[in-house]
Amino acid sequence: MFKIQIPATSANLGAGFDALGLALTYYNYVEMEECDHIDISSSDNLDIPTDERNLIYISAKDLFEVCGKKLDGLKIRQTNNIPMTRGLGSSSACIIAGLVGANKILGEPLTKDDLVDLSAQIEGHPDNTAPALLGGIVTAVFDGRKVHWVKQEVYTKLKFVAIIPDFELKTEMARACLPKEISHKDAVYNLSRAALFSASLLTGKFENLRTAVHDRLHQPYRMELIPHCREVFDIAYTHGAYGAYISGAGPTVMAIVDENNTYFAGKVKFSLDNAGLSGWEVHELRIDNEGTKIIGV
Ligand code: HSE
């Protein structure tokens, strides 16, 4: 058995819909070993598929197929810390675990670039899968076959505070509510802000982040599917967040906060409780610059 550590991710970062994402210091673990049958379980008794419908297994099988090999079975032990269906990249973590694990079993035939491409083909977009594999902040364009990407390591005094509700929002539903077309003006609105986000994060111009996280492609529509989302944004800004955005497809709200804002998480939790939103949890995270790694054999 070897053990893989995979980070949570936060995609879109406001305006960078399907293009920007970053990895966070919140991890799933997957132990894996080749086996002549399927033997899948979770160490935390979470209800996961334990047969060939398991996403880690499906992804491993895809990699075997790409390499012209047949997968007879796998032993998989999952530790799922990343909450599922919350916009924190839990399915990408499964895809990346399957690919990285299968690649190791086969003696690493595929390169990092291959894994970025294959994971985007499985998921449909690269903004969670690429940072889950690579770490840091990733800018990615998926042309349908290949991902053109840049990973940048970020050493910053920023904290990313995940404000996570106790309800799920399925990505399919959060994509189904989006408009099929947008105006030229709205396209400019978004692309300028997405570019501003990366440049501001990387150069330390954090006062720009509040403008940079606004968008007209997805957040206004998804907010309608997330009860109390606006209140949670207000709470984050009241306590001094530089910016707040819906993480991935939601429903988690991510606040970007200065590390000197010491009691931000506690203040937000107190305000949530006072507003009758005690089901929302608050997790203080940092950017993970390393991405997925095998941490033990
Ligand atoms: N960019 C994707 C979306 C991330 O917002 O739908 C979720 O997979």
Give the tens place of pLDDT for each residue, 11-66. 999 999 999 999 999 999 999 999 999 999 998 878 899 999 999 999 999 999 99
- CATH class for the domain made up of 2-153: alpha beta
Asked if 284 and 151 touch (Cβ cutoff 8 Å), the reply is no
Cis preceding linkage at 109, omega within 30: no
- Is pLDDT at 168 greater than 90 in this prediction? yes
Reference 161, options 43, 280, 42; nearest CA is 280
| Domain boundaries along the sequence of the chain | 2-153, 158-285
Residue 176: Cβ within 10 Å count: 10
Q: Say how far apart CA 141 and CA 10 lie, in whole Å.
A: 16
Tokens of 85: 């269906």
User: What is the fold, at CATH topology level, of the domain defined by 158-285?
Assistant: Alpha-Beta Plaits (3.30.70)
Ligand 1 centroid – CA 126 distance (Å): 9
Does the predicted TM-score (pTM) go above 0.85?
yes
Ligand 1 centroid – CA 125 distance (Å): 7
Ligand 1 centroid – CA 107 distance (Å): 32
Ligand 1 centroid – CA 263 distance (Å): 30
Tokens of 52: 């060939």
248 lines ligand 1 (CB under 6 A): yes
- Is pLDDT at 297 greater than 80 in this prediction? no
Asked if 273 and 254 touch (Cβ cutoff 8 Å), the reply is no
- Is pLDDT at 119 greater than 90 in this prediction? yes
- Is pLDDT at 144 greater than 90 in this prediction? no
12 lines ligand 1 (CB under 6 A): yes
173 lines ligand 1 (CB under 6 A): no
Give the tens place of pLDDT for each residue, 253-286. 999 999 999 999 999 999 999 999 999 999 999 9
Give the tens place of pLDDT for each residue, 71-87. 999 999 999 999 999 99
Range 229-248 burial, b when 16+ CB lie within 10 A, else e? bebbbebbeebebbbbbbbb
